[in-house]
Structure 1
Amino acid sequence: MNLNLIIQRQKISVFFLFLLMELSIQAQTILTGKVLNQNKEPLSRASVSIKELNKTTVTDNNGIFELNLAEGNYSLEISYVGYTTLSTTANTKDTNLIFTLQDEMHQLEEVFVSAVRVKENTPISYSNLNKKEIAKRNLGQDIPILMNYMPSVVTTSDAGAGIGYTGIRVRGSDASRTNVTINGIPYNDSESQGVYWVNVNDIASSTQSIQLQRGVGTSTNGAGAFGASLNLLTDNGANEAFAETSASTGSFNTQKVTAKLGTGLINNRFNFTARLSKTTSDGYIDRASSDLTSYFLQGSYQYKNTLIKALVFGGHEITYQAWNGIDAATLKTDRTFNSAGAKYDSNWNVTGYYDNEVDDYEQDHIQLHWNQKYNNNLSSNIALHYTSGKGFYEQYKQGADFSDYNLTPITIENTTINTTDLVRRKWLNNDFYGITYSLNYKKENLDFLVGGALNEYKGDHFGEVVWARNASDNEIRDRYYDDYGDKIDFNMYAKATYKLNNQFLLYGDLQYRTINYKANGVQATLVDDTFNFFNPKAGITYLADGNNSIYASYARANKEPNRTDYENGNPKPEQLDDFELGWRYKTGKSKINTNFYYMFYTDQLTLTGQVDNIGSPIRANSGKSYRLGMEVDASFYISKYLTIAPNITLSRNRNVDFKETDGTTITNLGDTEISYSPNIVAGNKIVVTPVENLYVGLLSKFVGSQYMSNTEFKDSKLKHYFINDLNINYSIYPTVTFKEITLTGLVNNIFDVAYSSNGYMWGTTPYYFAQAGTNFLVGVTFKF
């Protein structure tokens, strides 16, 4: 072949090769953008997705992302943990693209919860749990169980499987010492100070986010915080109309059905959402059944600078009682045994069970929020609320004395009868109502907030005998006791965050709280006390650089005794001085939060491990005591497919010169461990996302041994335990009928550990609450 011809063909080939490369380069371009939060700060590792191409990337440390795309328009979905997902469009020719994500709490307006929530640089130890994280495990278990893997948290369940009556402890402090609010409205029961999530079953399905502040925290409204503050923020209204239904089933005949719908924005002003839920379970413990229904309805109006929200939510629970626990011998031979409702023969052998040994209670909440923004610097929030609760627990009692029920002995054929088998109902009928308010001023380096609350609780406590074998002179609806409680709680506060310069932020918070509490017991005045508390808080944050910050804070909290404390003694109010020191480290691939705390108590009301004759835990003032500890929680983004999030709390929890009395003799036991306060609590979460729509999480929890009394009595020690759960989520979208279908699976305690997470002492005999071995829940959610 002619050499010149060969050279010419090669030149033509090279020309066409370069032409094709040029056309290819011209067909591809780089879409670049920046993702910020509402404070104009870059968000690193935010997810940027193009659904139609199944293409995803993440932002770098400066919040910048790049996508190699063909020229044209694309639909972007930008998401970040703790922020509302942004759906938008972009063209590859656009430049200087900036996308701003709104913090979830800002979607409900910042002032709505600013009185009770903290932000990233506030000198307080906290953790957030957002809607997506909640949804991954929300198959029917209560809020405390969903929070189990958060730092310093220990949870328990009376029924053994996380449905029904559940409890939570933070830094060794139980729920009565945790300040709980829903949308800034106090939720703790005013008299017992406890928190009963069973009354608002499946509130998790209407929850936007949860913030847990450890220590005193902000604790502005409601009960004093002696271990933690927990704020729950309910759902925002969606911009577009939606409907979804979910169903789950699992071990112990557990079933949950939930239906939700929303109108989306109507005329850009109105928005309505609603939910109905039904949860049933037989429970792990014998007869520890739960039959729970709940509802949630929210309407909002937003126009220009005005936001008005009205919420009505509540539920009705019927649970078979499972609060007796079991002794050590039974724990070894029959872990699921439940003595509640047992009928005995003369030799104390169980012959059967009363079929209605239940707790039956209904609770309804009404909230009205008005949020007004006057200008760029000034806004306010006023909230009115009302809660109504009514119900009873029913019990079968054998050989009850007539005198305990105001019954007159009867004589039959010269034989006097003064005992009887009977069924009693102990009722609680209460109302809680009030107002909370706040005014927020922001300008440049100052964020200043003033506010307060006035709340009143009125409760009727009464008992009825609904059946008696020997009826005596009892009439229908006769009350064998008729007590009341009346509590007025007023507080006012002022708090400020001041940015001194680019490195230092100052925080201050002053609260005054006054409580008037009146109650009577059996034929006598139980309490008529007024308390006046001053609770100052202060802190400083040092922003060393873009990755490191250090903070220190001090907070004081004062707390009044609860009704049970008065029924079992002559209690004093207690005081806490809380010192916190922390370091936060954050890069694109890791986050580490380290916090040291020293909580010094005066006259702390600690659990003695004993319970009274109706099963309520007994507390007593322990003089001086302290909790000294270190908390570390972290997230390591090993790759786009693997994340590891461990946490650990190491602590020393001691009573100083603890004294015990039997009523006549006082014994000084010296330095002893505070009850229900393990020295180590650790958790870990390993998350694998092999493909975009699949989530696999291994959740681990270790809780060290703990005493169930303050005397360090050997038999009162609750053993340590280590459990693991497996959580799987898989989403399918879009489909012809549904926007999304999500399949969820949860295997609890995958290694079948036999453990007890709680217990109490009856005299010198320990009783335990056994938890379920390996059990599962599976569910499916359809979104329309």
Structure 2
Amino acid sequence: MKNFFLSGVALLALPLSSWAQGPVSGSVVDARTRVVLPGATILLDGAPASSAADANGVFSLPSVPAGSHELRITFIGYQALVRRVEGQPAAQQLTLGLQPSGVLTGEALVTASRANERTATAYTNLSKQDLAQRNFGQDLPYLLDQTPSVVVNSDAGAGVGYTDIRIRGTSNTGINMTINGVPLNDAESHGSFLVNLPDLASSINSLQVQRGVGTSQNGGAAFGASINISTLDVRREAYAETQNTYGSFNTWRNNVQFGTGLLGGHFMVDGRLSRVASDGYMNRGSSDLKSYYFSAGYQAKNTLLKFITFSGREKTYQAWNGVPEPAITGNRALLQNYIDNGELSEADAARVLQEGRRYSYYTYDNQTDNYQQNHYQLHLSQGLGQDWNIGAALHLTRGFGYYENYRANRRFSDYNLANVIIGGDTITRTNLVDRKWLDNYFYGGTFALNYQPRDNDKLQATIGGAWNRFDNDHYGEVIWAQYASNGNIRHRYYFNDATKTDYNAYARATWQVLPKLGVYGDVQVRHITYNINGIEDDQNDVTTRARYTFFNPKAGATYALAEGQQLYASFAVGQREPVRADFTDRPAGDQTAKAERLNDFEGGYRLNMPNANLLGPRTALRLEANYFYMHYRNQLVATGQLNDVGTALRTNVARSYRTGLELTGSASANDKISLSSTITVSRNRILGYRDVTYDADYNPVVAEARTSTISYSPSVVSAHTLEGQPLKGLRVALLYKTVSRQYLDNSANYGRRIMPYQVMDFRVRYAIHPTFVKEIELGLLVNNVLNRKYVANGYTYSYLGASGGLDTFNWYFPQATRNVLASVGVKF
């Protein structure tokens, strides 16, 4: 009877155990350095068990059936790790260390520029999956909106077309951007115009945002941050997929992507075609954007050779003029002031009242920006014995395009045209259409030699450098005029060419002095030669000769308090030359622009607990507190004014600083719910600032020196994301963003400000896995759920008005009210 009873219990237990399924989670790290490996692939019994490890190297398998299973973890450049796991009801947490392999991935240049936990700097990693979650076709800055200290805006108001990003109050002219270690910033303006590379995010496999000076980079110096982009992923399996989005303002995003995987274990081909189009929130704020990405490579154990080309072509209706303040406030007295001072005609004033905050200054049907940018990169990664490898790249960027503008009542003399005589009348002005052209080549080479010993991780070092040259023709043509005068079709009324040569060399090393103490050192020498010859559109001679040599040292230290806890501190010097507009558009009375210098102090605390168990099993916790003090000499700050193609005018200020605290935290529990938050509290000041106004005779009146706030620098920026998974494959998220008051110029005048704003977005994605395709994902993004009417950017200027007093005119860039984007993605 006893044996029969035991047998019965066993039989009853069999089906229970066979249905027992427990979660398995953990983190994937480098076995030597313990640096996390974001994007590592997780396979359970040979099938994808999750999309990949996240940006912190954390993975989660919600349910592993009872019995013995094979867990396989792969990451490019590392040996695959195979581990047996037993399915059981209780949660299991693992830390999986991968050993580097001899197979190179082309990441040598990227790795050489990236920060890690040994470099004592503030940074944020985003994986391909992180970007894909956020990507509904909006420009890349909007995908970074939830990262620390970031503020974004859009000329057309909806995140498609011309967009901008500021980090710690610094515009994109101070943000170094590289793609696969190759500079992206325009050599003359220092800006990165991502409108020229629409849907780039779909080809990015990893991205790092460094705040402050960061590590040595190729290209222009980082004066607020750097964004390091990699598209060098090697996908071992063949794939094909498409993403399609439609939403408010007739916004479309369509792309197709494909890849062969590794053919014969050595060859690979990847490609993408994309189209993004939108009418824009602003009236006549449309965008028509097209792009492609293509790469082909060969991989062996110690060699990778890869050719990459990508291109973007954009046509955007010019929305950079913004909206006059009374169109937003409805202030009739202020509107009349605009009319009296010639800022608006009676007809435009009537349109302001009709169109309101969506008013567009331009009405000419082809008032457009047309530009194409073609990129070509050839990458080589080569292993040199057991401990050394080298990465090198040759690159060429070809850019060309024009702004087309309707100009009313312009003087013939401004266009090198003769006055027109009809009978006894002399006509000195005409209506016309002009085009301002850019025609340029950017080319050069970069390299990085890395020392990474396999059997001793105490010392790691990199020696690198780059040589780049930029050739750019600037010229204007008249393509139509009401009175043709003595001009021919495409009459050229100005021309100047610019050449810029930039080369740098750097050396960097990390040394683990003691088991808990590591030190970091980095030195860079950079030399620039910049020449301009010719005249600008205002017929002024802009001939310029400038040469700079910069020495930029960096040093830091890290101290491990305990497992997953670290203190760090660093000091870095960054120096940067003025941009083109600082030479060609100097405000009246301004001196020749000077080079900027930044001394950057960073220090903080990190806590990373992928298996915290604070809120139950499979709880991950990550916290970081970072203090910064950025002290500038001769910082070039925005005056609040724009030139005639929307470029911000700037002036040097002798002494200024930014200081603040960045707090970042994230927690997730059971892969069911996660919360991430970041808040930056800062103080951004100019010391001894003297505001300049003008009297009735246009003589400058200089105010007494005082401490003032740097323009476009909010004192508080925060971002919060709450995400849950109520059902398998269904993810729902709320995103909340706050930005405090900003000033349009450096006077800290309350009448020249951007009001604080708060924006909430809602996102949902649902993935299913039918038998006929790998995955179908449906997505919905509701931007500005609370329907707030806010502006995120603007400009200002003042002059003597019709009444003889000083009049101030503010123009703003309103952002879209509640709007929706819906997407369908299919993976074959």
TM-score scaled by structure 1?
0.91
CA contact (8 A) 1:700 1:722 kept: yes
Among residues 608, 629, 637, which one is paired with 1:586 in the alignment? 608
CA contact (8 A) 1:669 1:711 kept: no
Shift of 1:449: 0.6
> Counterpart amino acid of 1:584?
R
Structure 2 CA distance, aligned partners of 1:657 and 1:177?
23
Change (3 A) 1:473 1:51: farther
- Counterparts of residues 706-745 of structure 1 (less than 5 Å): 706-733=742-769, 735-745=770-780
> Counterpart amino acid of 2:794?
G
Query: Is 1:776 aligned with 2:798?
Result: no
Shift of 1:234: 1.1
Q: Which residue of 1 aligns with 2:561?
A: 544
Query: Is 1:561 aligned with 2:578?
Result: yes
Query: Is 1:20 aligned with 2:11?
Result: yes
> Counterpart amino acid of 1:359?
D
Shift of 1:70: 4.1
Structure 2 CA distance, aligned partners of 1:750 and 1:362?
35
CA contact (8 A) 1:622 1:659 kept: no
- Unaligned runs of 5+ residues in structure 1 are 1-9
Query: Is 1:384 aligned with 2:394?
Result: yes
Shift of 1:618: 0.7
Among residues 35, 38, 57, which one is paired with 2:30 in the alignment? 38
Among residues 762, 765, 779, which one is paired with 2:797 in the alignment? 762
Structure 2 CA distance, aligned partners of 1:409 and 1:25?
96
Give the stretch that moved more between structures: 232-241 or 419-428: 232-241
> Counterpart amino acid of 2:626?
N
Structure 2 CA distance, aligned partners of 1:55 and 1:309?
30
Structure 2 CA distance, aligned partners of 1:377 and 1:600?
39
SS at match of 2:703: strand
Structure 1 CA distance, aligned partners of 2:557 and 2:478?
59
Change (3 A) 1:293 1:68: closer
CA contact (8 A) 1:35 1:42 kept: no
Change (3 A) 1:540 1:352: closer
Structure 1 CA distance, aligned partners of 2:724 and 2:573?
42
SS at match of 1:162: coil
Write the deviation string for residues 233-254 of structure 1: whole angstroms up to 9, x where unpaired: 1151321111111211000000
CA contact (8 A) 1:343 1:398 kept: no
SS at match of 1:690: strand
Write the deviation string for residues 175-209 of structure 1: whole angstroms up to 9, x where unpaired: 00001101110000011111100001100110111
Q: Which residue of 2 aligns with 1:372?
A: 382
Query: Is 1:527 aligned with 2:571?
Result: no
Change (3 A) 1:781 1:696: same
SS at match of 2:559: strand
Write the deviation string for residues 584-631 of structure 1: whole angstroms up to 9, x where unpaired: 012223110100000000010000101123332110001100001000
> Counterpart amino acid of 2:663?
V
Shift of 1:55: 8.9
Q: Which residue of 2 aligns with 1:112?
A: 109
Q: Which residue of 1 aligns with 2:725?
A: 689
Q: Which residue of 1 aligns with 2:470?
A: 457
Structure 2 CA distance, aligned partners of 1:175 and 1:495?
26
Q: Which residue of 1 aligns with 2:614?
A: none
Change (3 A) 1:737 1:481: same
Change (3 A) 1:416 1:165: same
- Work out the percentage of aligned pairs sharing the same amino acid: 39
Q: Which residue of 2 aligns with 1:4?
A: none
> Counterpart amino acid of 2:379?
H
Change (3 A) 1:170 1:364: same
Structure 2 CA distance, aligned partners of 1:85 and 1:692?
31
- Counterparts of residues 346-745 of structure 1 (less than 5 Å): 353-443=363-453, 444=456, 445-520=458-533, 521-522=535-536, 524-569=541-586, 570-587=592-609, 588=611, 589-661=620-692, 664-733=700-769, 735-745=770-780
Shift of 1:11: 3.6
Structure 2 CA distance, aligned partners of 1:352 and 1:288?
10
> Counterpart amino acid of 1:37?
V
Structure 2 CA distance, aligned partners of 1:762 and 1:404?
23
Structure 2 CA distance, aligned partners of 1:427 and 1:568?
17
Q: Which residue of 1 aligns with 2:226?
A: 229
Give the stretch that moved more between structures: 130-139 or 304-313: 130-139
Shift of 1:89: 8.5
- Counterparts of residues 150-299 of structure 1 (less than 5 Å): 150-299=147-296
CA contact (8 A) 1:541 1:549 kept: yes
Change (3 A) 1:23 1:285: closer
Write the deviation string for residues 655-689 of structure 1: whole angstroms up to 9, x where unpaired: 00012345744333410000000000001010101
Shift of 1:710: 0.3
CA contact (8 A) 2:572 2:600 kept: yes
Give the stretch that moved more between structures: 677-686 or 579-588: 579-588
Shift of 1:71: 3.8
CA contact (8 A) 2:31 2:99 kept: no
Structure 1 CA distance, aligned partners of 2:80 and 2:783?
34
Structure 2 CA distance, aligned partners of 1:382 and 1:726?
43
Change (3 A) 1:624 1:66: closer
Write the deviation string for residues 474-528 of structure 1: whole angstroms up to 9, x where unpaired: 0123210001111000100111011112101110000000100001343524320
Structure 2 CA distance, aligned partners of 1:650 and 1:253?
38
Change (3 A) 1:745 1:27: closer
Structure 2 CA distance, aligned partners of 1:771 and 1:29?
51
CA contact (8 A) 2:104 2:301 kept: no
Write the deviation string for residues 11-45 of structure 1: whole angstroms up to 9, x where unpaired: 45424335536867997999999864233549799
> Counterpart amino acid of 2:734?
L
CA contact (8 A) 1:463 1:480 kept: yes
CA contact (8 A) 2:596 2:635 kept: yes
Change (3 A) 1:346 1:448: closer
Write the deviation string for residues 210-252 of structure 1: whole angstroms up to 9, x where unpaired: 1000000114210111100111111513211111112110000
Structure 2 CA distance, aligned partners of 1:346 and 1:778?
38
The count of aligned residue pairs is 767
SS at match of 1:668: coil
CA contact (8 A) 2:561 2:567 kept: yes
CA contact (8 A) 1:107 1:236 kept: no
TM-score scaled by structure 2?
0.86
Give the stretch that moved more between structures: 662-671 or 546-555: 662-671
Structure 2 CA distance, aligned partners of 1:63 and 1:287?
45
CA contact (8 A) 1:37 1:103 kept: no
Change (3 A) 1:567 1:673: same
CA contact (8 A) 1:242 1:264 kept: yes
SS at match of 1:252: helix
SS at match of 1:135: helix
Change (3 A) 1:17 1:583: same
Write the deviation string for residues 314-354 of structure 1: whole angstroms up to 9, x where unpaired: 111000000111122101359xx9x9xx9968997669921
SS at match of 1:714: coil
> Counterpart amino acid of 2:564?
N
CA contact (8 A) 1:265 1:271 kept: yes
SS at match of 1:564: helix
Structure 2 CA distance, aligned partners of 1:742 and 1:492?
46
- Unaligned runs of 5+ residues in structure 2 are 88-92, 352-360, 587-591, 612-619, 694-698, 799-807
